[in-house]
Amino acid sequence: MEQGRLVALLKEQVAPAFGCTEPVACALAVARAREALGAPVQKIRLVTSPGVYKNGLGVGIPGTGARGIPIAAALGALIGEARRGLEVLAPTTAEAVRAAGAMVAAGAVTVSYDPARTGVYVDACVYSAGGSARAVIEGSHTNIVYVERDGEALLGTRPEAAQMREGGGTAAGEVGTPALAGLTLADLVHFAAAVPFAEIEFLLTGAQMNREAAHQGLTAGAGLGVGRQLASLVEAGKLPDGLITQAKLLTAAAADARMGGLPIPVMSSAGSGNHGITAIVPVTVVAERTGAGAEKLARALALSHLVTIYVKEFTGRLSPICGCSVAAGAGAAAAICWLLGGDAGAVGTAVKNLIANLAGMLCDGGKNGCALKLATTAAEAILAAELALGGAGVDGYDGIVGDTPEETIRNLGYVSSHGLAQADAAILTVLTRGQVSTF
């Protein structure tokens, strides 16, 4: 196992994000296209994959008081700097928000999705009085694969039309060979326990960042206010002030802050801020409650992020299944089990327990209600770990669960990409208020 390769993967996949990463990816593509254009943007045309469209449809955009991809795209054209990556919207100002709102109101921003695309895909075309430019992101939220100005390629080669596969959609939508190919969960546990602390100490920044997001969510009452309401139930004596409740309310509060559009960053995992919240906050709460030091927390976070990435390599960056539950939730369950003294076998059982429990949770887009799903996942991650430590584990005769955690994750990926191939289309019909037949 290449220790350096896994450290590099963590540094690549665990990064600050300012706002929901799907509209941020749209803003980033627009910003890069505008830089190629070299002139003020008068019109924006965006085509995305269904998953990007779904996740950006109803989510709050930091510092704007508005929701959705159009305002993010307009801000990308006005103040976006592509070099900022997932923090492309960090320089947002009140003046920029007013100008972006005017662009959207004037009909200068159009957004649609291509049902033949899967995974992360954003095709941004921008227009000025005398020219046009285009930038395409594919595979991951910051992976700019093509840039052109006035039809002339500046970077990459012109993307081909999406090739349809049997059952609809394209193949994986991911780029390159899976980074964790050939490794097992036991390998990841060994890495987390053995890697020099100095190599992963940077992960503690994410614990601090996402804990601050939780604090902001509790104090500002942003989004749906799930975290704040759970805290009030504790104060009223209606919920016990125990480990699971604290993990639920702090995880929910961080999601409230992010989905509600507070102008704060969160540390992401596998390209998603909500994944980062789920992979980090419950683990941090358990570490604090059990007196684990900084080094043990960093090692647990390394395991949590790597398991999250591992699952995403089978389900895809964007999927019909809620990745916060099955991927980041599996990461949190693995890390919590390890924090509480579990060996590699127990960690694998915790992952199987979590997937057996939450595999059916659908992703119906990024929105305030995600805080409910993250709260549920935080609690179930702890329960999955505790059950595993007590010897209770789902076996290979139970539903999609396999004999090993790796087989279970492969099965989950198959069900997500094949069994639920039409789920996003159905979800988008509902989200866009399409005609739905009734009985």
**pLDDT tens string 128-171:** 999 999 999 999 999 999 999 999 999 988 877 654 332 333 33
Please, what is the end-to-end C-alpha distance for the chain in angstroms? 55
pLDDT for the residue 161: 60
pLDDT for the residue 118: 85
Number of alpha carbons in the 13 Å side-chain half-sphere of residue 102: 9
Contact 224, 262 (CB under 8 A): no
pLDDT digits (tens, 9 = 90+) for 288-308: 999 999 999 999 999 999 999
Contact 103, 79 (CB under 8 A): no
Q: Which of 63-67, 264-268, 337-341 has the lowest mean pLDDT?
A: 63-67
Region for 50 from its dihedrals, namely left if φ exceeds 0, alpha if ψ lies in -120 to 50, beta otherwise = alpha
Report the CATH fold assignment for 185-430. Answer: 2-methylcitrate dehydratase PrpD (1.10.4100)
pLDDT digits (tens, 9 = 90+) for 113-139: 999 898 899 999 999 999 999 999 999
Judged on CB neighbours under 10 Å (0-12, 13-18, 19+), 101 is middle
The candidate with the shortest Cα–Cα distance to 365, out of 59, 55, 118, is: 55
Distance CA 221, CA 217 (A): 6
Q: Is the pTM of this model over 0.85?
A: yes
pLDDT for the residue 177: 54
pLDDT digits (tens, 9 = 90+) for 363-392: 999 999 999 999 999 999 999 999 999 999
> Where do the domains of the chain lie?
20-155, 185-430
pLDDT digits (tens, 9 = 90+) for 43-87: 999 999 999 999 998 898 998 989 999 999 999 999 999 999 999
pLDDT for the residue 397: 86
Per-residue tokens: 336: 């919590």
**Once rounded to an integer, what is the mean pLDDT over residues 231-239?**
97
pLDDT for the residue 162: 52
The candidate with the shortest Cα–Cα distance to 186, out of 412, 411, 6, 406, is: 406
CATH class of 20-155: alpha beta
Residue 437's contacts (CB-CB under 8 Å, 6 or more residues apart) are none
Residue 219 has pLDDT above 90, yes or no: yes
Contact 44, 74 (CB under 8 A): yes
Looking at this protein, which amino acid is placed at residue 95? E
> What percent of the chain shows pLDDT beyond 70?
94
Please report which confidence band the pLDDT of residue 434 belongs to, taking 50, 70 and 90 as the band edges.
Answer: low
Q: In the predicted model, what is the mean pLDDT of the chain?
A: 92
Residue 31 has pLDDT above 80, yes or no: yes
Residue 255 has pLDDT above 70, yes or no: yes
CA angle 231, 236, 237 (to 5 degrees): 100
Q: What is the DSSP string of 159-197?
A: PPPPPP-TTSS-S----SS-TTTT--HHHHHHHHHHS-H
Sheet of strand 109-113: strand arrangement: 109-113, 43-48, 121-127, 132-138, 144-149, 152-155
Any bridge partners for residue 134, and if so which? 125, 148
**Once rounded to an integer, what is the mean pLDDT over residues 167-178?**
41
* Helices 294-315 and 185-194, axial angle in degrees (round to 10): 150
Distance CA 305, CA 320 (A): 21
pLDDT for the residue 164: 34
pLDDT for the residue 433: 78
pLDDT for the residue 421: 81
Q: Which of 151-160, 185-194, 229-238 has the lowest mean pLDDT?
A: 151-160
Please report which confidence band the pLDDT of residue 221 belongs to, taking 50, 70 and 90 as the band edges.
Answer: confident
pLDDT for the residue 439: 43
Number of alpha carbons in the 13 Å side-chain half-sphere of residue 282: 37
The candidate with the shortest Cα–Cα distance to 287, out of 296, 278, 279, is: 296
Contact 420, 315 (CB under 8 A): no
Per-residue tokens: 300: 């647990």
Any bridge partners for residue 266, and if so which? 17
Region for 182 from its dihedrals, namely left if φ exceeds 0, alpha if ψ lies in -120 to 50, beta otherwise = left
Alpha carbon dihedral 420, 28, 304, 226, in 10-degree steps, equals -80
